[in-house]
Amino acid sequence: GINAEYMGNIYGGSDECNHIIMKGCLLLGISILFINFALCEDLFTLRSNVSPINSKNFQKQINAQRIREVSMILFFKDVDARVLAIARKYEEFANEYKGVFKIFFVDCAKEGPLCKTHKVETFPLMRVYPPLPAPSFDLPIGDVLDTKKLLEEASGYIPKPEIEILTPSNLNVYFESKVDKPKVVLFTKHKGIPFVLKAIAHTYYDTMHVGLVRDTEEEILKKFKITAIPSLIMVRRKSEKPIFYKGEMNYNSIFDFLNPYSEKFIFGDAKKKMKEEEQKLLKPWLSEELPELTRDSADDVCYKLGKLCVIYIAKAEPNSSTKSTIQKIKNKYALDNKFTYMWLNAALEKNFFNMFHIEESELPKLVVLNVGSIKRMLIHSRSITQPDIEKTYDSIYNGDARFTRINLKSFPELIERENKPKPDLQQSSLTCLLYTSPSPRDATLSRMPSSA
């Protein structure tokens, strides 16, 4: 709303002056439009550590990660100076904690149906998605995003990391165990476990073995020639000298230092593969479409997997139609990797069946069982059809499902079944795998590597 004619009259009123002022007003208007466009389009760049979420990737990037990851989404609609300031703080947070959390944004101006589905009605909104069965929750946002509060709330849901507290009595056991994983050891004055080590253990949970040494363990400090606290070392193999980390004690720097060493050793993978093949012969339920929950199979199909156990309860083995329905559910949610499936013989496993407080006349039934330290169950109240089962799954994902606490320290004993003869592994068709690593001189030769 700049009046060029009025401005021209103030500064002399000549045609030349008016022309210059009109050009200036035009450039100013274009600049304002450009700034507004930039605010809308470049809130997060393609190189940002804050990734976009839309209706097509929500299932894969959010729901499928809720077995052990903590994700968060910034929902916004109209971009103004406040949203821009919040976005900058959010990006700083993402730059510091990429890998610890899954960090995303949703532009509700473009993804209206998605925001409506997830009941996002106020903007901007920060929503945190912890591992299931914990429900998602919203974090209030003022004029500025409180990243300290965001870290405090979100980090509380990171699964308890596997960190060994090392002393002279267990040091050798630590380095001799899990030989297929490099060892990462932090020497610290911290009385608890520093967040940075929890974050590293969470990020590299399946590729590295993490340990902690207190500064009071003088014997270990002397053994590794530690002169400064905190210090961090990485040992690829017990026979090798430790590699000392020399950077700053923050997550990003340590992550970059460890990342080149994070891949599993090939020998460990080959050994694991052969063990899996052998186990399939000794434990047939590992390869069954819908295994039965028994004393022998319970650990492998439910108890030790850290997943939600979906149990079809009936007096007899499910028919092909039921197995087909459950298989369709398995396929649809396979990427999530948070459910495991089985059936329970209510006629045989009466003690276990009675735990659910279901009448025999109500069978068959579908139950979702949380086998964590606090045991909970969710009884599927609808029909055992794909559409109705999906409704129950949706309630779990949305945090609307009401799990009932099971007031037991341990589950009822499953009965002892008749022992079946074990397969003869010598007559089996186990595959022997040979992995080789070519030496540099073999790079240009078309023959078996010398290391073979």
* DSSP per residue, 250-275: SHHHHHHHHGGG-SPPHHHHHHHHHH
Count of C-beta atoms within a 10 Å radius of residue 416: 9
- Give residues with Cβ within 8 angstroms of 451, minimum separation 6: 436, 437, 438, 439, 442
Structural contact between residues 76 and 83, judged by C-beta atoms closer than 8 angstroms: yes
Q: What is the pLDDT of residue 357?
A: 94
Q: Of 314, 412, 414, which is closest to residue 361 (Cα–Cα)?
A: 314
First-to-last C-alpha distance (Å) of the chain: 79
Q: Which amino acid is at 205?
A: Y
pTM over cut 0.85: no
Q: Of 63, 43, 210, which is closest to residue 133 (Cα–Cα)?
A: 63
State the chain's mean pLDDT as an integer: 82
- The answer to which of 161-175, 208-222, 435-449 has the lowest mean pLDDT is 435-449
Q: What is the pLDDT of residue 176?
A: 86
- Give residues with Cβ within 8 angstroms of 308, minimum separation 6: 132, 133, 338, 339, 340, 368, 369, 370, 396
**pLDDT for 174-210, tens place per residue?**
988 888 889 999 999 999 999 999 999 999 988 899 9
Phi, psi for 312 (deg, rounded to 5): -90, 120
Task: Place 45 in a pLDDT band, splitting at 50, 70 and 90.
Answer: confident
Q: What is the average per-residue pLDDT within 159-165?
A: 91
Degrees (nearest 5) of the Cα angle 67, 72, 75?
Answer: 140
- The answer to which of 29-33, 81-85, 179-183, 377-381 has the lowest mean pLDDT is 29-33
Q: What is the pLDDT of residue 2?
A: 45
